Amino acid sequence: MATGLLLSGTIAALLTSALPAQHQPSDGFDDPPPDRIVIKVATVNGSGCPQGTTAVAVSEDNTAFTVTYSDYLAQAGGDSAPTDFRKNCQLNLLVHVPQGFTYAVAGADYRGFAALQPGATATQRASYYFQGSPDTQYRTHPFSGPLNDNWQATDTTDWAQLVWAPCGVQRNFNINTELRVSAGTSHPDEVSFMTMDSTDGDISTVYHLAWKECPET
């Protein structure tokens, strides 16, 4: 697990694509800070991210960070254990930003693989909040069988509804993700599963950051 990465470059105001090289600033947003961002993993907890199976990396232009999983799988049916139907992961991130700027998560792209039998269903869910803040954003994406393919889900937030990090105060950022699988009306001997990963093991969840200047005090 990566404990921290320090990268420099120009930070885009708001990302609209999963690939950093294609990101373009959106008109009307403040210029991003021409400095560095440091992201460190404070804690990682959950059945979907056992110790040593999660890593965080920051894009070269500081416009996004990627969370990588290697053991995030929920399943139901067949000989699955009763607790296998739900897996979750809470990432507690310490984010250092240049003085005078704040940030919000403007979007997130999730990818994985799902094998759902006819009649089975699955759900990917995520929530975002700053430590000590009552504002929490929730996003839910349902899936249904038959399905045997890679999946992708994207969370986006309007500029006016972004939850910004408090200016001048260090607050850890929390990301809670969850996978649920239900056998539903599928045959009880058939297994359905969903992973937060991809078939070739190149597993990534990309979170897009928005930036603005803090008011002068």
The pTM of this model reads 0.73
Q: Two tokens at 213? A: 């200047």
Per-residue pLDDT of the chain (217 residues; tens, 9 = 90+): 332 222 222 222 222 222 222 233 232 334 555 566 777 777 889 999 988 888 777 777 666 778 888 999 999 999 999 999 999 999 888 877 777 888 888 888 899 999 999 999 999 999 888 888 777 878 899 999 999 999 999 888 877 678 888 887 778 888 899 999 999 999 999 999 999 973 333 345 677 888 888 887 6
pLDDT at 217: 65
Assess contact for 63 and 208: CB atoms under 8 A. yes
Nearby residues of 11 by Cβ (< 8 Å), 6 or more positions away: 32, 33, 34, 35, 37, 61, 62, 63, 209, 211
